[in-house]
Chain A
Amino acid sequence: MKQSHARLRVGAALAAAAALLLSSCALNEGESDPAGTAAEGDLTLRIGTTTDVANFNPLQSLSKTDSWILNAMYPHLLRLDENAEKVPELASGYETENDGSTVVFTLRDDFVWSDGEPVTADDVAFSAQAIMDNQLGNVAAKLTWVENIEVRDDVTVAFDLSQPYAPFAEGVGFWMSIVPEHVFSEAGDLTAFANDSDWVGAGAYILESMERGQRYTMRANENYPYAPEGGAAVQTVEYVVYPDINTMLLALKNGDIDLMGNPVPSSALGGLESDPNISVQSVDSLGFAHLTYNVTDETLARVEVRQALSMVVDTESIIATVLQGNGQPMVGPISPVFGEFDNPDLEPYPFDPAAARELLEDNGFTDGDGDGFLDGAQFEMICDQSNANLTRVAEVVRDDAAEAGIKLDLACIERNTFLARTKDGDYQIDLSQWGVFDNPMDQLRSTYLSSNPGGINYNLVQDPELDALVNEAATTLDQEQFVERIQGIDAYVHEQALLTPLYVEQFSFAYRSDRFTGFQPSPSDLLGMVTGYSLSQVTAAE
């Protein structure tokens, strides 16, 4: 007996030792001495994120969470301010020549790469050319019109376009990351360049080290021109990975992190309000939730049917219940976030199932079999099951539609399947949410042109009149006229009821207000609280 106990103990000890050995190689090895890293008074801000950085190459298509880190590291010509307006970042400004066919950016001369090289017009030209040559990511679509790029001097770069395109400068300025030519030109094939070590950036914070699955540590760039006098108060930004949002919430409450990068779900907001150490900042979405109708469907091709559907959607109560008030209604396809472009004269379709039923009956729909539903008014509505708000909206709309004699079959499916089906036009009604539109012109062009240049004309609409309206607006340089034309399209699409907008969500970002203050949030969960600019303005709370 004693013998067997002893054996057991030896076994356990051996096993424990083996386990230790296995992991000891990773035990904080290669880290500098913690005492040596931070000078007196330097602040470290820890941000929760749900997923690891998948791709460190800012020229490629990135996920939202990748963008948080990379956008802070690589400068953009323009940035989006708190009012969703494009303001100078690396560019000090831009102007057009040749009736809008040439767009000229003038750069600031005080941006410096973290290895000491200055940021010049050559870097801008290189980044754009590389994206065009390799058709990298969504920015390639923004550069569609570029025929030639001319570097006029160190701070001047001109893009010659095949035709004027009103929002060209804004689209490219906002979306395109500028990378250091002297690093990326040495990297070989840029479609396969991982860029996962020895980062050289010029944004507010530069990635310094990472432990995959755990944390990403960024250091403030002392040359970042927009940092306050004397440098950013937050010298270190650490992204910590919590795949589960509830775990991240607990970590914030416990003070393990200072800010949640991901928005707090509406259902969890109540629990944070009572915590005196935590504040919540609201930020508008740059996208919106909507029902979009596939007009290649025989029944949905009829405008009265789409209008009737718009009348069974109770946006007011959806915002109040599903979003718990954290959203605003919209009419037509242009979000109120874009201020002047949103046509103020549009009247929403009233929520009135009885009137909707009447409208359908006036147009020949009858309930022949007496089941309470109008014959032929039956549609499949697909949605992304990972969006908890939309799956609830789907049920609300289905129940209200039933009152009007419209039968909606819900198919809330796995996200990737959902994306593939919308891409293939394999649906009747698409209940979904646009992520980020940075300007109305790009949105209208991508969603309504018959040629479907962006692949997101989910209505599959082919309307020569609408095409003409969009193309006319796209080449309009006079601002007043441009606004008028966008408003005109807003009205046209609304009348056609190509979509039923649901809401513009407000994202809620929670942070430790007992420790930090001074975030400068921008709209959307792509930017939110964590842009390089915002983080560089943060100071310690009193």
Chain B
Amino acid sequence: MSEIRQPLLDVRGLCKIHAQGRWWEHKFLVRALDNVNLVLPANRTLALIGDSGAGKTTLAMCLTGLEQPDAGTILFEGKDITKIDRKKARGFPEIQLIFQNSTDALSPRMSALEIVEEPLLIRGSLARTECQQQALAAMEQVGIPGSCSNRLPHELSGGQRQRLAIARAIVSRPKLLILDEPLSGLDLSIQGQITNLLLDLKDAYQLSFLYISHNLELVCRIADEVAIMRRGKIVDQAAPAAILASSKRSHLPALVPSAPASSSRRGASAGA
């Protein structure tokens, strides 16, 4: 952490315009990001909520340098990272992204261990054996036993694949982890396990999370702050309780209420 209390991530006036339509069609411009401002203090979780097409993933891509923004600055610990030549710098390990669909993001032809050690090998600062050790340690930490290290991604369960993606992200010791829908398609119980793992890692490594999701109820349980994005703009940013309260009144469809009040369930189990 720096001496002066500067935020870990400070996004100012970020814009990204996509042109849609093929060459023979009339092109129209989509403002995927429209003057986005975000501040994320160190060791905090900021949740980003929005419908599909709101620009959440584009923002994640810009932050990790996979897309170049058209305007605006991204200050990471005070440095503007839009100016960094990523190819020369061989990536930017301080910010790691966990993709929306981990199954598609893992190479089907690489074993679990190879997947996790790849980022270390690409950076090339460590010897091969050391990379392997660190990769195994990271896998241990996310709860993938060493016996699975030679398996291919399709031989792992959905929850294990997600753990593998997390291991690949933390192996380069990031400060900021961008999680793009990390729980979509997973069972409720596994969602809980993965979320708890992420929270444990956050405490262990002093990580910050930018948590992209459309599950308002869930993020309100884990985030320190929630930002709502619509059509490329951040339209609201507040504490989880305030967002939840306002969503009940307004436009944002919250989870369909289903679970009966916990008191009645306790009564039920006591009676059984």
- A and B interact physically: no
Binding site for A on B (CB under 8 A): none
Binding site for B on A (CB under 8 A): none
